[in-house]
Chains A and B, each alone.
Chain A
């Protein structure tokens, strides 16, 4: 561990019923302290009702050089979008 501690990613849930969303990251000496720093940095104005902190080292990220293989095959598959459905007459609120 360096003098700055470990890096943690912070996720904030804005209100009940929605997902935790990544807010940023903090350095901390322990997970419990990371929670407190997350609270200090990212919920100062009542932005959240719940916090997650996750060691940044535990995050497995896609590599940018692999991005074409991962994402581009979806580009020409427009049948995955609902744009081609015919809407029956008289249907509202869909």
Chain B
């Protein structure tokens, strides 16, 4: 197996891989909820969302793999890279501490993702515009799911409210990273491939504030977490678990 994402990969390839990572890692987190959801209906709902995210990851990885070279595949990108090669935002790596943490992580991500995909429908890169067109519909449903749950949890019993507020407080430091831009991102913005991540913030703020108000939750004032330099322990554990089978049985097929 070649080194899948070499240093020479261009901006759109890096961008596709990074967002493939985001979708795959969050999908895997939701898959970890299977057999642990509070009720059967919710288990199906979480699994459906995980499948939507997995589908988004596959399109982005396939695109990146095509551009990386003839023998590169989506599976190499998903299962052939170490945790420190993943570019997912720390938010989606955060553990499934309890159901409130699962739902709150989803809300903060989903509202961002809806703005992200909506902005990407105008991309000059045709594949990005295509995948965004499909993802906007899927993500619209995800936002409904997570926002309704946050209101149900926040505006109900003391215990549920306390857990929802606790999840919000502990996840809030990872929000700013979603709107940050590095050199790769700035270059893609300059070329008209993507909108500036920072431009998504005002709409995100309005929407999240409205949902938190409905849920009687307090918007935290905590500082953002430092941008990490290496993989978090949570991500390393997740990647180890996710890649266990392809590592033990390289090339395994159904």
Q: List residues of A whose CB falls within 8 A of some B CB.
A: 3-5, 26-30, 32-33, 36-37, 39-41, 44
Contacts and interface: CB of A to CB of B under 8 A. Distances in A.
Contacts of A41: 41, 44
Given A36-B145, A40-B48, A28 B38 contact: no
B225 interface: no
**Chain B, interface size: which category?**
10 to 19
A28 B145 CA distance: 12
Given A33-B152, A36-B144, A36-B145, A26 B41 contact: yes
B2 interface: no
Instruction: Summarize A's interface: helix, strand, loop or mixed.
Output: mixed
Interface in B12-43: 38-42
B112 to A, nearest CB: 20
Nearest to B48: A40
27 contacts: A5-B39, A26-B41, A27-B39, A27-B40, A27-B41, A28-B41, A29-B149, A29-B152, A30-B148, A32-B144, A32-B148, A33-B145, A33-B149, A33-B152, A36-B141, A36-B145, A36-B148, A37-B41, A37-B42, A37-B44, A37-B45, A39-B141, A40-B44, A40-B48, A41-B41, A41-B44, A44-B48
A64 to B, nearest CB: 28
Which of B41, B42, B141, B148 is the most central at the interface, judged by chain A CB atoms within 10 Å of its CB?
A: B41
Contacts of B45: 36-37, 40
B156 to A, nearest CB: 8
Task: Give the top 6 A-B pairs by smallest Cβ distance, nearest first.
Answer: A37-B41, A29-B152, A40-B44, A26-B41, A40-B45, A40-B48
